Amino acid sequence: MPPAIRVEGLEKDYGDVRALDGLDLTVPEGSFFGLLGPNGAGKTTFINVLVGLVRKSGGRAEVFGHDVEDDYQGARDAIGLAPQEFNVDRFFPIREVLMHKAGYHGVPEDEAAERAERALKRVGIYDKRDVRFDWLSGGMKRRFMLARALVTDPDLLILDEPTAGVDVELRHDLWEVITDLNDEGTTVLLTTHYIEEAERLCDEVAIIDSGRKVTVATPDELTEKGGDTLTVALDAEPDDVPDIDDERVESLELDGDELVVRTPSASELVPEVVRQLDAQGYTAVDIDIERTSLEEVFVELTRRDEEETRESNDTDGEDDAADAERAVAETQR
Ligand SMILES: Nc1ncnc2c1ncn2[C@@H]1O[C@H](COP(=O)(O)OP(=O)(O)OP(=O)(O)O)[C@@H](O)[C@H]1O
C-alpha cells in the first residue's frame, strides 16, 4: 500500500511569491501526522495542492498513490477536508448539505442520507440537522466542518486548524472524535498553531518554514532536541562563574546566586555538578530542572531556518552584485 501522502520537490509560486520551495514529505498510512509552521509557511498551499484547489508549479504529489493532477478524482475521493474557512452552502439544511457532498463523490442517495445522519451524530449536532449553516453557533459550525469532511468516509482526513478559536470543552470533544477516527484506521493530517494539540495527538510532526521541511520527528524526539535547563541556587553569590568541567555541559551562566546550566539531560548531570561545586567551596541550596517545551523547540527551529534563509539570500545578493558588475564590464569592453 502506498503512503497516504507522498510529495517530492513540491513547488508553488504565486507570481513572485514562492509558497512551496521543494517540499519533500511522506505521511504513512494510518498515522496521525501534524504539520506545524509559522504563518505563511505554506501549510494551506500544501493542502490545497493535495485537494486540487491549487495547481503546483513543480514536483510530484500523490495521495495513496494517485497523482493529484493526473488522477485528480482518485486522489480527491480519498480525502475528507475540513478547511480553515467556512466555505459552506448556506441555503440548505445542514443534513442536505452533507447529502449533496456525498452525492458529489458518487454515493447513492439512500446511503448518502445514512452517512449524513451518522456524521452529524458523530460530531454531536444531529439535533440541528434541519437547521441552515448560518444559524449554527461558532462551535457548531466547527463541528459541522468535521462532519462534512467525514461524510465521504475518507481514508485521509485533512484538518486545517480544526480547533481555531473554539473553547476548551469543544476542543477536547473534537480531539476525541478525531482520535477515534484515527484509531479506526483513518490517516489524519492536522495543521495547528496549538503546539499542545500536536503534542497530544500526533505520532509524528513535520515542521515546515518558507515552503520547505525543517524537520520530521515524533513530539518526544523534538522535545529531546531542546534539552534541559538545570538551575542550581547557591548559598552565596559567587564573584565569578564556577567552573563545571563536563562535556555534557552546553552552556553555563551565572544569574545572581543561581548557576544556569544547559544540557541534553539534566538529571544525569546533577550529581557531578553538585560534586564540582562542593569541591570549589559552593553549596547548592536548591535545584530545579526544566525541560524545553515543544513550543520553545518549534520557535528555535523556525528562527534558525529563517536566519539560514536570510544568510543564503544575502549571499545570493552578493552573487547578483558580482553578476551585475561582470555584465557592466562586458558592455564596456
Ligand atoms: N492566492 C495567493 N496569492 C498570492 N500569494 C499567496 C496566495 N495564497 C498564499 N499566498 C502566499 O503564499 C505563502 C504561503 O501561504 P499559506 O497560506 O500557504 O501559508 P500557511 O502556512 O497556511 O499560513 P497560515 O498559518 O497563516 O495559515 C504566503 O507568503 C502567502 O502570502
Contact (CB, 8 A) for 185 and 30:
yes
Q: How far is the CA of 270 from the centre of ligand 1 (A)?
A: 46
Quick check: CB of 187 below 6 Å from ligand 1?
no
Alpha-carbon span 35 to 25, nearest angstrom: 10
Query: Is the distance from CB of 31 to CB of 183 less than 8 angstroms?
Result: no
pLDDT digits (tens, 9 = 90+) for 165-193: 788 889 899 999 999 999 999 999 999 88
CA of 208 to the centre of ligand 1 (A): 13
The residue behind cell 532536541 is 225
User: What is the reported pTM?
Assistant: 0.80
Residue ranges in the chain assigned as alpha helix (H): 43-50, 72-77, 94-104, 109-123, 138-150, 168-183, 195-201, 219-226, 266-279, 294-332
Q: Measure 316 CA to ligand 1 centroid, in angstroms.
A: 24
SS (H, E, C) 54-81: CCCCEEEEEECCEECCCCHHHHHHCEEE
pLDDT at residue 314 above 60? no
Strand-strand pairing, 284-291 and 228-234: antiparallel
Q: Is residue 253 predicted with pLDDT exceeding 70?
A: yes
- Provide the percentage of residues in the chain whose pLDDT is more than 90: 67
- Nearest ligand 1 atom to the CA of 38 is 25
- Answer whether residue 87 shows pLDDT above 90: no
On whether the CB atoms of residues 229 and 261 are closer than 8 A, the answer is yes
Atom of ligand 1 nearest to the CA of 208: 21
Ligand 1: which residue has its CA nearest to atom 3? 14
C-beta 45 within 6 A of ligand 1: yes
Beta-carbon-side half-sphere exposure of residue 207 (alpha carbons within 13 Å): 24
Give the residue whose CA is nearest to atom 6 of ligand 1. Answer: 14
Q: 39 CB under 6 A from ligand 1?
A: yes
* Domain 3-223 of CATH type 3.40.30.10: no
Ligand 1 within 6 A of 53 CB?
Answer: no
ipTM above 0.95, yes or no: yes
In Å, the largest CA–CA distance within the chain is 82
Asked if residues 273 and 232 have their Cβ atoms less than 8 Å apart, the reply is: yes
Assign 76 a pLDDT band (cuts: 50, 70, 90): very high
43, 191, 195, best to mutate for ligand 1 pocket (most atoms within 8 Å of CB): 43
Handedness of CA 42, 46, 49, 53 (dihedral sign): negative
φ and ψ of 60, to 5 deg: -120, 150
User: Is the pLDDT reported for residue 306 higher than 80?
Assistant: no
Q: Where are the domains of the chain?
A: 3-223, 228-291
Residue 207: alpha-carbon gap to chain centroid: 6
CB of 83 within 6 A of ligand 1: the answer is no
